[in-house]
């Protein structure tokens, strides 16, 4: 099986090469036999990549240490689930994993479009195959997971303990699923550019794929934050590290695209811009992979410095040149069909949403690449850290949060004063009340106050939309509230799913604003001694050390400290933090000791305990952090994912009236003042 | 019609201009030189204000020089880039990955008495996701796979 897998990798490469060649040729010469052959070859590529992956999984699960990859990332005493997930734990395997997802997506795209978009498909197939050629070739020549050692070690070196975490088993696949899904819209964009069929047709085909990408990136980023928070022990979840930024960039441009696509659907505007966003999202996803793999930018996350960095740089440049050429030669076909009519319109709100999202993306990109830029321009590497990203992105983020509330309320084309008054009166009041309430409770941090005011505003807009929609259904259909609510969402998935995503964003911002009130204490505790600290809500906590214990567990030796945490009005609770020394199957220590943090979660705050070390026999050196509202980050992420799923869920193809509907509701009435039935996000 | 467009563009320029202004000033305020020990030594020779200026230094820990204070909260060690060796002291959370011969990035100030006082310490494995044992590292296959950089 392992040998079959190894050979399959090479066959897949040949198949992809054939597919790309005949698909482009068939599309240009309009020969359906070549096109069909190209599609079959792409299906075959998928089959062979699957074989290659099964081969590697077989090697990992049977611990075939003659493969360098298996020997470097697993050991015989590693739990099976981590042997399985070691597939994407290392450079070479993760490249193959990338190929696997891309091949899978390609096959799904071909199958879903076997009867539709026939004009575009040859070029879509060709572009996808071309991307596959790049990734397969990089895997086969640059980072082959089937590379063998010239001797067979008795045991492997095991998986880094920080990766032995359930979050780490599912975080990378989610990010990859998100990154790779940007390839499909990119392929459609290239196909639309080549064939000059730049109307809304290709957009409809890519909207769902953009959502897939957005959804997986959202889940992946949230899981990444969670992993960093529970595993790395520095008390935070986002450090503006280049690798984190790399995952945020395609998310930002992808989000911008999901908004601007609506303007093109509705008004035929922003055609150049949409092509640009699709291409930019793909390129940023590739750039993200490049940053993670090349070691060109200092990051604690980097894989080994490796030669495949230059492969990526080459591919990136090639992709930029090709798309720039295609866009430049087709500018005429990309002219807008309508113009912006008023600053007070939904178009304008969406456009500003795009400006801000792209502005954030640009500043993040600039800050991430600044060491390279400054070295090239001024000859010395200058790095920027969290203060840079916070200074720039907090104001932009708050502006974006405000627009989240404005966009859905304002009418298309031109909003009237009456429309504005009717829609905004309650939400503005809601926001101001919440802001004032926090001020009265003693909150004095400016950004936090603005955040919570805006959060109140946006939440009220969303609530108002749901109340209106449910009310309308109750009047027209006489339904009970829960049924009206479910039907409302079910019948307008894009609109109300979008509102749910917006609510997730509000929850996230509320959580981010809570960071301003974080409190941290470093201390040493002998057994039985206590420490009293005030939390951000001015409540007094007492921590009493229950002593230090040492014991062995599975594949590790553990040193643990247990604290009893008490505050008035809460039953005493124990929190434990561990230092783990992992050992191999012969009992020899492997890796550096790792820290397991202890977290006492609640809606208001996390109490976060880190054991630094032990002095003498029993004195624990610890750090206690009060992290307000961290819980909200995870739930904000979950709410966004649920909203995303609702938006993506295929709309029933026939509504009750028998009219065919696409992914959104078709509205016959003229724009401007109309009941809330047009498409949301 | 054209007026709305002009207004929009002006608004956009305002937003992006503010962002650009913030970016430019905060790079000035928070940007830090990223230097190797050799570069840092050369810089302070040319311009003594580089003493006591916050910089980041990337280098490799010299094996056998790590002295941990009891309790695991402070540490001193030497780092080198092959040309210059600089002693470093650090108080704070020592990362799990910190050990002999790892590449570290320290942020802090270079004292006039020749010690680098670090306020943050980041350690990375040659690859954080890899842990090739010493005996593999001497095999030709391993060396070949790591490329000339290693």
**Paired residues of B105 in beta bridges:** B58, B122
The whole-angstrom separation of Cα A510 and Cα A398 is 11
Query: What pLDDT sits at residue A121?
Result: 93
Cβ atoms of residues B118 and B101 within 8 Å: no
How far from A10 is each of A45, A99, A133, A150, A210, CA to CA, in Å? 10, 12, 11, 21, 30
Q: What are phi and psi of B103, to 5 degrees?
A: -80, 130
Pairing of strands B85-91, B74-80: antiparallel
Q: Which residue has the tokens 């070549």?
A: A34
Query: What pLDDT sits at residue A345?
Result: 82
CB contact under 8 A, A68 and B35: no
- The pLDDT confidence band at residue A227, using thresholds 50, 70 and 90, is confident
To the nearest whole Å, the CA of B83 is away from the closest chain A CA by: 18
Question: Which of A197, A178, A176, A207 is CA-nearest to residue A122?
Answer: A197
Q: Angle, to 10 degrees, between the axis of helix A91-112 and the axis of helix A2-29? A: 40
Burial class (CB in 10 A: 0-12, 13-18, 19+), A338: middle
Does the predicted model carry a pTM greater than 0.90? no
pLDDT digits (tens, 9 = 90+) for A187-217: 999 999 999 888 777 887 788 899 999 999 9
- The pLDDT confidence band at residue A681, using thresholds 50, 70 and 90, is very low
CB contact under 8 A, A385 and B32: yes
Q: What is the largest CA-CA distance in chain B?
A: 73
Average pLDDT in chain B: 75
The whole-angstrom separation of Cα A95 and Cα A92 is 5
3-state secondary structure of A394: helix
Which of A304, A362, A376 to substitute to test the interface with B, most B CBs within 10 Å?
A: A304
Average pLDDT in chain A: 85
The whole-angstrom separation of Cα A366 and Cα A362 is 6
Rounded mean pLDDT, B76-97: 85
In the predicted model, is pLDDT for residue B34 greater than 80?
yes
In the predicted model, is pLDDT for residue A302 greater than 70?
no
Provide the chain B residues 99-118 that lie in CB contact (below 8 A) with chain A: 99, 105
- Closest-CA residue of B relative to A146 is B145
Question: Which of B76, B103, B116, B79 is CA-nearest to residue B92?
Answer: B76
Question: Which of B90, B93, B85, B95 is CA-nearest to residue B124?
Answer: B95
* CB–CB contacts below 8 A, A to B: 192
Classify residue A616 as left (phi > 0), alpha (psi -120 to 50) or beta: left
Classify residue A520 as left (phi > 0), alpha (psi -120 to 50) or beta: beta
CB contact under 8 A, B149 and A305: yes
**Chain A contact set for B128 (CB, 8 A):** 160, 162, 300-303
Query: What pLDDT sits at residue B132?
Result: 39
Q: Quick one: DSSP state of residue A411?
A: P
- The pLDDT confidence band at residue A297, using thresholds 50, 70 and 90, is low
Query: What pLDDT sits at residue A294?
Result: 60
Provide the chain B residues 53-82 that lie in CB contact (below 8 A) with chain A: 56, 58, 70-73
CB contact under 8 A, A359 and B15: yes
**Chain B contact set for A383 (CB, 8 A):** 31-34, 56
**Chain A contact set for B10 (CB, 8 A):** none
Query: What pLDDT sits at residue B21?
Result: 87
**B126 near A CB under 8 A:** yes
Q: Angle, to 10 degrees, between the axis of helix A308-329 and the axis of helix A121-137? A: 160
Query: What pLDDT sits at residue A299?
Result: 56
Read off the tokens for B22.
């913030």
Query: What pLDDT sits at residue B71?
Result: 64
To the nearest whole Å, the CA of B14 is away from the closest chain A CA by: 11
- Closest-CA residue of A relative to B133 is A157
In the predicted model, is pLDDT for residue B57 greater than 70?
yes
**Chain B contact set for A69 (CB, 8 A):** none
Q: Hey, what's the torsion of the CAs at B109, A234, A375, A305, to 10 degrees?
A: 120
Query: What pLDDT sits at residue A419?
Result: 79
Rounded mean pLDDT, B65-90: 85
Cβ atoms of residues B86 and B62 within 8 Å: no
Read off the tokens for A339.
């113009």
Averaging pLDDT over each range in A133-142, A385-394, A436-445, which range is the top one? A133-142
Query: What pLDDT sits at residue A215?
Result: 95
The whole-angstrom separation of Cα B97 and Cα B103 is 10
Distant-in-sequence, close-in-space partners of A417: CB < 8 Å, separation ≥ 6:
none
CB contact under 8 A, A301 and B141: no
pLDDT digits (tens, 9 = 90+) for A37-95: 999 999 999 999 999 999 999 999 998 899 988 988 888 888 888 889 888 877 888 88
Pairing of strands A594-596, A598-600: unpaired
In the predicted model, is pLDDT for residue A545 greater than 50?
yes
CB contact under 8 A, B15 and A399: yes
- Closest-CA residue of B relative to A141 is B145
**Chain A contact set for B140 (CB, 8 A):** 150
Rounded mean pLDDT, A383-390: 84
- Closest-CA residue of B relative to A372 is B34
How far from A65 is each of A71, A160, A163, A578, A622, CA to CA, in Å? 5, 17, 20, 31, 40
Cβ atoms of residues A89 and A169 within 8 Å: no
DSSP string, A178-197: HHHHTHHHHHHHHHHHHHT-
As a three-state string, the secondary structure of chain B is CHHHHHHHHHHHHHHHHHHHHHHHHHHHHHCEEEECHHHHHHHHHHCHHHCCCCEEEEEEECCCCCEECCCCCEEEEEEECCCCEEEEEEECCCCCCCCCCCEEEEEEEECCCCCEEEEEEEEECCCCCCCCCHHHHCCHHHHHHHCCCC
Read off the tokens for B130.
């890899």
Query: What pLDDT sits at residue A313?
Result: 84
């Amino acid at each position: 099986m392992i040998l079959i897998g190894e050979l399959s990798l090479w066959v897949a490469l040949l198949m992809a090469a054939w597919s790309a060649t005949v698909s482009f040729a068939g599309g240009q010469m309009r020969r359906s036999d070549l096109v069909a052959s190209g599609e079959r070859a792409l299906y075959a590529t998928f089959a062979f990549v699957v074989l290659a992956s099964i081969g590697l999984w077989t090697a990992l699960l049977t611990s075939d240490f003659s493969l360098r990859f298996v020997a470097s990332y697993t050991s015989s005493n590693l739990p099976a689930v981590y042997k399985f997930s070691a597939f994407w734990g290392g450079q070479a395997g993760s490249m193959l994993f990338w190929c696997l997802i891309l091949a899978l997506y390609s096959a799904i795209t071909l199958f879903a479009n076997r009867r539709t978009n026939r004009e575009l498909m040859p070029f879509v197939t060709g572009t996808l195959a071309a991307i596959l050629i790049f990734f397969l070739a990089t895997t086969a020549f640059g980072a082959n997971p089937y590379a063998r050692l010239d001797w067979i070690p008795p045991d492997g070196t095991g998986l880094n303990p920080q990766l032995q975490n359930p979050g780490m088993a599912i975080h990378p696949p989610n990010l990859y699923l998100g990154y790779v899904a940007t390839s499909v819209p990119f392929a459609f964009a290239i196909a639309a550019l080549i064939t000059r069929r730049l109307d809304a047709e290709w957009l409809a085909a890519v909207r769902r794929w953009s959502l897939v990408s957005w959804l997986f990136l959202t889940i992946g980023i949230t899981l990444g934050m969670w992993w960093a928070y529970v595993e790395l022990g520095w008390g935070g979840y986002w450090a503006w590290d280049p690798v984190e930024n790399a995952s945020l960039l395609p998310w930002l441009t992808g989000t911008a695209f999901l908004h601007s696509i609506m303007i093109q659907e509705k008004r035929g505007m922003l055609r150049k811009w949409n092509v640009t966003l699709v291409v930019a999202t793909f390129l940023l996803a590739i750039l993200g992979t490049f940053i993670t793999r090349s070691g060109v930018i200092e990051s604690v996350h980097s894989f080994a410095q490796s030669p495949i960095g230059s492969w990526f740089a080459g591919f990136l440049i090639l992709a930029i040149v090709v798309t720039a050429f295609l866009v430049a030669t087709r500018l005429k076909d990309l002219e807008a069909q309508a113009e912006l009519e008023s600053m007070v319109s939904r178009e304008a709100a969406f456009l500003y949403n795009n400006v801000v999202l792209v502005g954030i993306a640009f500043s993040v990109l600039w800050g991430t690449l600044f060491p390279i830029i400054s070295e090239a321009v001024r000859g010395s590497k200058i790095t920027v850290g969290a203060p840079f990203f916070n200074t720039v992105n907090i104001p932009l983020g708050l502006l974006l949060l405000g627009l989240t509330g404005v966009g859905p309320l304002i009418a298309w084309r031109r909003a009237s004063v009456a429309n504005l008054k009717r829609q905004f009166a309650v939400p503005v009041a809601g926001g101001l009340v919440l802001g004032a309430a926090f001020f009265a409770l003693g909150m004095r941090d400016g950004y936090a106050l603005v955040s919570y005011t805006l959060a109140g505003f946006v939440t009220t807009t969303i609530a108002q939309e749901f109340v209106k929609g449910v009310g309308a259904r109750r009047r027209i259909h006489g339904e009970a509230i829960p049924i009206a609510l479910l039907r409302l969402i079910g019948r307008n998935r894009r609109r109300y799913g979008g509102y749910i995503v917006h609510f997730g964003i509000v929850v996230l911002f509320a959580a981010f604003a809570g960071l301003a009130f974080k409190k941290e204490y470093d201390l040493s505790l002998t057994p039985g001694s206590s420490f009293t600290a005030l939390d951000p809500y001015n409540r007094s906590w007492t921590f009493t050390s229950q002593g230090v214990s040492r014991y062995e567990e599975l594949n590790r030796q553990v040193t643990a400290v247990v604290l009893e945490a008490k505050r008035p009005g809460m039953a005493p609770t124990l929190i434990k933090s561990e230092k783990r020394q992992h050992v191999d199957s012969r009992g020899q220590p492997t890796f550096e000791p790792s820290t397991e943090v202890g977290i006492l979660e609640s809606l208001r705050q996390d109490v976060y305990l880190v054991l630094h070390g032990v002095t003498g026999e029993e004195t624990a050196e610890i750090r206690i952090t009060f992290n307000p509202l961290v819980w909200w980050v995870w739930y904000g992420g979950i709410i966004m994912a649920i909203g995303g799923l609702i938006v993506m869920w295929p709309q029933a193809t026939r509504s009750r009236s028998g009219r065919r509907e696409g992914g959104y509701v078709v509205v016959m009435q003229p724009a401007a003042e109309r009941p809330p039935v047009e498409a949301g996000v | 019609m054209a007026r709305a467009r002009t207004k929009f563009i002006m608004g956009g320029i305002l937003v992006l201009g503010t962002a650009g202004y913030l970016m430019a000033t905060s790079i000035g305020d928070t940007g830090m030189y990223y230097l190797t020990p050799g570069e840092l030594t050369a810089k302070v020779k040319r311009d003594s204000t580089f003493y006591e200026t916050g910089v980041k230094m990337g280098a490799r820990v010299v094996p056998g020089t790590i002295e941990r204070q009891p309790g695991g909260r402070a540490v001193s060690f030497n780092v080198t880039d092959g040309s210059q060796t600089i002693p470093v002291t650090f108080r704070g959370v020592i990362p799990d990955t910190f050990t002999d011969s790892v590449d570290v990035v320290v942020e802090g100030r270079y004292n006039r008495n020749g010690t680098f006082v670090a306020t943050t310490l980041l350690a990375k494995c040659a690859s954080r996701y890899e842990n090739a044992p010493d005996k593999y590292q001497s095999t030709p296959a391993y060396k070949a796979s790591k490329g000339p950089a290693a």
